[in-house]
Structure formats: structure tokens, C-alpha cells
Amino acid sequence: NEKENEKDKDKEKRKRKKYAKKKKKSPVDATKAPSTPKSRLQELCEAIHTDNMLFGKEKIVFNPDYFAFMWDVLQLPWDWNGESPSTIPLVVKQELQKAKKDKEEKDKAKEKKDPKAEAKAEARRMMLGRRTRMNDPLEKERGMLSCSPSAPRSLAASCFFLSFFMEVLARAHYRPQFEGWVGILGKMLSDSPKASKLFLAHFSSRKKLLTDVLVNGGEKSTRCGFVSLFLKALKTLRKGEAHLYKEEEILFDKEREKEKEREREKEREREKERETEKEKK
């Protein structure tokens, strides 16, 4: 009987522990502390990241609401000086300012401890840059899709929008906002020569992608859209880099003239040899 009573007591204790654990795991809890703006921002970033991961895994599914959200992001008034847009909420701006201040304070503390910290960091960056250039022949191509953190905000935004347009929107089955995206990206390329240079460099390094877009494209709208973007990028680069191509043309013409002169000299030598052979005969 004593053993049975002990077993019953153990069962009751286990049940109480399970009930306490379930109560702790419950989402609604009156004793829970209020969430701070930093924690809310972190939760929001995690939720967006998980949604994007799920959307990327579902290749066949197309959600127009997601692309409408991306369209709103594209229309944000980014300043060319690298400042944040005016439509961002105040909470996010405050958090960004706090993060910048914390980073500056940490850097100052490191400098006080180690006065050669800046020189060491620059040396590391230089070494990393050399390694990427030596090992990766398509560094320019990757820089188009993922700009460096030292690049200006406008260039990073243009890289992100162009990569999204090429990798996701152009390959989707149902795209009601494709023409609008082509128009806004054309304006961006006409305004920034750096973005147009990156756009053309990406396609020049990937010739297979160029043939897939312009020749093997399924729909006519995608081909026409990419052709218009190529034309606008070339027009923007023609304004500032036309003299470079003219210099190359002049050099090419000079080389052709030299080759023609060499051919003429060879023909004269052959004629002289023929004349000497005739005289000998």
C-alpha cells in the first residue's frame, strides 16, 4: 500500500509540472513584461525574413501582394546623399540612430585600447579585397547583386531592385506590374550612370542570361522590357563615356592602317622577287 501511495504522489507531481510548463508556454501571460521597440523591431525583421524564405522556397506560387509591397519600397524617396527616406516610421529612425551611436562608441573604445586599430582594420580590408580579386574572376558580376557596405545607399538600392527584377519578377508566371517596374527602373537607370554600368556589366559577364532574356524569352513583354532598359542604360553611359569609345575607334583605325601598309610592303617584296626570277630566266 505504501508503494502504491508513493506512485500516486509521483504521478500527481508529474501532472503538476506538465501543467506549469504549459502555462508558461501560453502566449497570453499577465506577468509578462511589456515589449520594447527594439524587441518589436527584431520580431518584425524575423517575421519578414521567414516570410521571404517561405516565398522563395515556393517557386510555383505567385503572390501579387508581395510584389505590391516591393513596388511601394521602390517608390521610397531615397536621397542621393545616402540619407534614409522620410516615409520610415519614427521608431525605426530612432533605433537606427541608436545603433549608429552605439557603434561609434564601441569604435572609440577600441581606439583608446588599441591606437593602431584603424590601421589594422584597413589592412584586413585590403587583404580581403585582394583575395576576392585573385580567387573570383566574376567579382564585378557579384558586386552588382550584392553591393559592398561602403557603397552609397542609392547604389545599393538600385542593385537590390535590379536583381529583384531580373531574378524574381521576370521569371514569374503572372506579373501584372511588369510594365510599371520597367518604367521606374528605366528612370533610375537614366538618372544614375553607375547603376546602368552595373546593369550592363552583369549581362556582359553572363552571356547565357542575355540569350535567355532576349532570344529564348517566352513572352514578348519581357523581351521588350529588357530591350528598353538596355537602350536607356546605353544612352546614359553614352553621355559621359563617349570620348573613351572615340579614342578606341581612333586607335583601331590606326592599327588597321598599319596592317594595310604591312600588306602593301609584302606585296611589293613579292613583285620584286618575281621580277628577279624573270631576269634570271
Provide mean pLDDT across the span 46-67. 66
CA atoms within 13 A on the CB side of 16: 6
Q: Is the pLDDT of residue 39 over 70?
A: yes
Selected residue with higher pLDDT from 76 and 277 = 277
Q: Is the pLDDT of residue 261 over 80?
A: yes
Percent of the chain with pLDDT over 70: 48
**pLDDT confidence of residue 236:** 87
Q: What is the CA radius of gyration of the chain?
A: 32
Helices (H), the chain: 2-25, 37-57, 64-74, 90-113, 117-135, 139-145, 153-164, 178-191, 193-205, 207-214, 220-280
Can you tell me the mean pLDDT for 256-261? 83
Matching residue, cell 537614366:
190
Residues 6+ apart with CB under 8 A from 196: 189, 190, 232, 233, 234, 236, 237
The pTM of the full predicted model, rounded to 2 decimals, is 0.41
Indicate the average pLDDT of the chain.
68
- Report the pLDDT value the prediction gives residue 278, as an integer from 0 to 100: 82
Average pLDDT over residues 79-96: 49
Q: How far is CA 151 from the centre of its chain?
A: 11
The pLDDT value recorded for residue 125 is 56
Q: Which three cell numbers stand for residue 36?
A: 520594447
Highest-confidence segment of 55-64, 95-104, 205-214: 205-214
Cell numbers standing for residue 245: 569609345
Tell me what pLDDT residue 145 has: 45
**pLDDT for 133:** 37
Q: Would you state the pLDDT for residue 144?
A: 39
- Name the residue with higher pLDDT: 227 or 149: 227
The residue type at 100? K
Rounded distance, CA 155 to CA 195, Å? 7
| Cell numbers placing 197 | 554600368
Q: Over 70: is that where the pLDDT of 98 sits? A: yes
**At residue 270, does pLDDT exceed 50?**
yes
**pLDDT of res. 277:** 84
Q: Is the pLDDT of residue 136 over 60?
A: no
Percent of the chain residues topping a pLDDT of 90: 0
Residue 34 pLDDT > 60: no
Confidence check: pLDDT of 154 > 50: yes
Determine the Cα angle at 120 with ends 117 and 124, to 5°.
135
Residue-level pLDDT at 44: 78
pLDDT digits (tens, 9 = 90+) for 165-196: 776 666 666 666 677 778 888 888 888 888 88
For the chain, the structural domain boundaries read 88-135, 144-239
* pLDDT for res 57: 62
C-alpha cell at 7: 506512485
Per-residue model confidence (pLDDT) at position 237: 85
Answer with the residue of higher pLDDT: 243 or 222: 222
| pLDDT at residue 73 tops 50 | yes
